[in-house]
Structure 1
């Protein structure tokens, strides 16, 4: 019976990072993953392939008709969807192989199969050759999440599917209906809109991007509508009827919408199927998320959990930070994640990025604040590149000037938000950001100008 210091269940961003950090600390680590390719949902059918498709579809749209004003004339541009999908798979396979190489480099033992906890310190792995029992002083659950659906809608993996299927449509659907106007729905909706689909986005709430700063969400909706997306907000989807070749999406109190494909993007749920949690003192809440304390410890002292399976923001980088913090707490006595400085990014065009408190949350909490904004149309690098939509918005405490939140919609917002996250992690004020020299001409100058605008002294607007 193999004996390890730590068994990690799941090799997604949280699990594989935790395994590597534990190995760096000199521990004998095992990682159990039932998929052949390491990297989890994020790498296989999530973050990475979606970004490959977003980038490719954006390039296609620009080359097909978006470069005339830049003096670049193109003719005869054609979409080769099979090759675009092959590029996506090459990226995925390459990165998955990279994780495998990291396991070998750090001497992490990989077990292939389904893991089931069989009491404290024991895990049974069911693989193609039968069962194998492992033991360890500690067990870390990092099994992630899976797509959720709605009552009355059954995913058939063909015409009605999740983002997994939407990453691999073998042809551009003439009409795609996206149920859910969050990160995933908008990203995949824009991919297929760029490639030629008519896209209708349905959302139960009266706004898109729930939880994001509402001002930026309103700006984003206007930009997406200009790009060709159609939104129906405040509508309740009650079911999807399959016809011979089409689908009818049924909406309460309204006529059904006929389409060719349906993407259900209404969130994700914890992946705890057949984990054996009933054999140990590991509790879950009413939605199935595993309950943990501030050190990611479950009710069973030797069993920990991180990432999507414990709830909160379902982001790969949040899981990575939790994986490192959990292992360091386990073996060094200290590990911490500052949840107020975890950024979120929507990789549409333009990108939308956020970190810290929204203006809505500050108002609701009665926290006094000042706001500074700066539009990209006034930024020289944005003008030169031809991507001027959007703005930077900085929220700072009215009395202390400490930065409470930064929200960006515009070119490369996902990269620009890193400066804001670092600034907030170190307790910076808007004055601190404003006093830092930013290279010219760069998009990052828009962050500096927004910081200046908090004190109503922006130079270029």
Structure 2
């Protein structure tokens, strides 16, 4: 077992949190290495982690293809455009997604080369506060690398269910669900949360009969409940078969089908589907991350204990992104923590405002929000006021023939400070940035009302929602 030179920083993991942290460390003049073991379908190294290869980037790429196919089949005639014999090649669609992923992964590699970051293709195990044992993916000799600081950023992976064991042929996880090369005629998804809905948005548009089995009695508990109700209405109209309070008890493969058994308030039921996707959440990748003698402190669910500065119980060791519970499992949360920790190590102290961290669900239409929900604020007894504006009252929405959804502003009834902004609609993930910026600078609803927005645009719904506080909307009756 050989021993390598000491680095200033070693980052374990090359997902958004890890690669961002490594790049920022290198920018600050720190000698940096990044260890990651991800391989693409050809067995070649690719950076970007699960987020790029099997998460949001892969998902939204496929969704864009699915939206085009759906539009060609269902939406063009009203525009006076006629197309005949439209077909879909799922395998080619997957290849297109893989080409984009590979290009983005190579771009990260180029950034590593530019910043002179040592990129090590291996699995890593934390031995103590300064040492990591690496086992190269190519099977070459195991070695130990040392650093003054270690940043753990190994991300998360799909949770497994004992009653629906994944074989990635008939019962598949979210990664395999983004790589199916044939169209299931009938598809069931365990979980109607963020991941389940995003996958349903893809495959239902391509023509699969899609059934979502959600154990919870309520639909989408994380967003504002008015947004969730609107989402339920829209997704049901799109053809999603949403079954709430449906607890799956067994799933078995047989005769090239999957038999799914579940229970709800009406009793026991069974389904026969071509594919079953398990989308029941994610877990932090901390299994085998640290040797027992390292004494890295984890909670009962495998998350790494950290303080408000992402420091673990080991001096000089940090845990960022999906490994900690400082915020939700979001790529941009991990990116900010990566930069935050890098600057701490370099002696530059900054802050992260988790209160203005945006959340996005990449369905179609998208859901996005920042700040508090109405139900949370009412539970706290906060005096609030609400301004709502539907997209169907904007000219731009009609021009694009996508009028579904709304913007909801929540402000303090006394101070007028914005406390939450919630959107369901086309490009909600882009629109929410305006709300994040406004809240970061402590804007009021009056600030939104006085800000001139271009007309016709979707963003002017912000302006109108703010005018709604004083019953001054211009394009709907007050």
Q: Please state if 1:26 is matched with 2:35.
A: no
Picking from 424, 427, 431, the partner of 1:409 is 424
**Residue in 1 aligned with 2:109?**
100
Indicate conservation of the 8 Å contact 1:326/1:335, yes or no.
no
Indicate conservation of the 8 Å contact 2:287/2:302, yes or no.
no
> How far 1:206 sits from its partner (Å)?
1.7
**Residue in 1 aligned with 2:305?**
291
Q: In structure 1, how many angstroms separate the alpha carbons of the residues matched to 2:295 and 2:159?
A: 26
Q: Please state if 1:309 is matched with 2:318.
A: no
Compared CA separation, residues 282 and 333, structure 1 to 2 (3 A): farther
Q: In structure 2, how many angstroms separate the alpha carbons of the residues matched to 1:76 and 1:275?
A: 52
Indicate conservation of the 8 Å contact 1:395/1:454, yes or no.
no
Q: Please state if 1:382 is matched with 2:397.
A: yes
**Residue in 2 aligned with 1:223?**
234
Q: In structure 2, how many angstroms separate the alpha carbons of the residues matched to 1:268 and 1:130?
A: 32
Picking from 212, 217, 223, the partner of 1:201 is 212
Q: Please state if 1:236 is matched with 2:261.
A: no
**Residue in 2 aligned with 1:184?**
195
Query: 5+ unaligned residues in a row in structure 1: which ranges?
Result: none
> How far 1:120 sits from its partner (Å)?
1.7
Per-residue CA deviations over 1:381-432 (Å, capped at 9, x if unaligned) read 1111111001100001111111111111111111100000111111111111
Q: Please state if 1:275 is matched with 2:289.
A: yes
Q: Please state if 1:362 is matched with 2:362.
A: no
**Residue in 2 aligned with 1:2?**
5
**Residue in 1 aligned with 2:388?**
373
Per-residue CA deviations over 1:196-253 (Å, capped at 9, x if unaligned) read 1000001111222231111111111111111111011012111212112111111133
Alignment of 1:34-433 (within 5 A): 34-35=37-38, 36-127=45-136, 128-252=139-263, 253-311=267-325, 312-433=327-448
> How far 1:155 sits from its partner (Å)?
1.1
Q: In structure 2, how many angstroms separate the alpha carbons of the residues matched to 1:111 and 1:269?
A: 24
Indicate conservation of the 8 Å contact 1:203/1:232, yes or no.
yes
Q: In structure 2, how many angstroms separate the alpha carbons of the residues matched to 1:98 and 1:137?
A: 28
Per-residue CA deviations over 1:85-109 (Å, capped at 9, x if unaligned) read 1110010000000000000011100
TM-score (norm 1): 0.98
> How far 1:330 sits from its partner (Å)?
2.1
Farther-moved stretch of structure 1 (277-286 vs 288-297): 277-286
SS of the equivalent of 1:294 reads coil
**Residue in 2 aligned with 1:16?**
19
Q: Please state if 1:448 is matched with 2:463.
A: yes
> How far 1:277 sits from its partner (Å)?
4.7
SS of the equivalent of 1:332 reads coil
> How far 1:76 sits from its partner (Å)?
1.3
Q: In structure 1, how many angstroms separate the alpha carbons of the residues matched to 2:444 and 2:50?
A: 37
- State the Cα RMSD in Å: 1.1
Indicate conservation of the 8 Å contact 1:390/1:409, yes or no.
yes
Indicate conservation of the 8 Å contact 1:4/1:30, yes or no.
yes
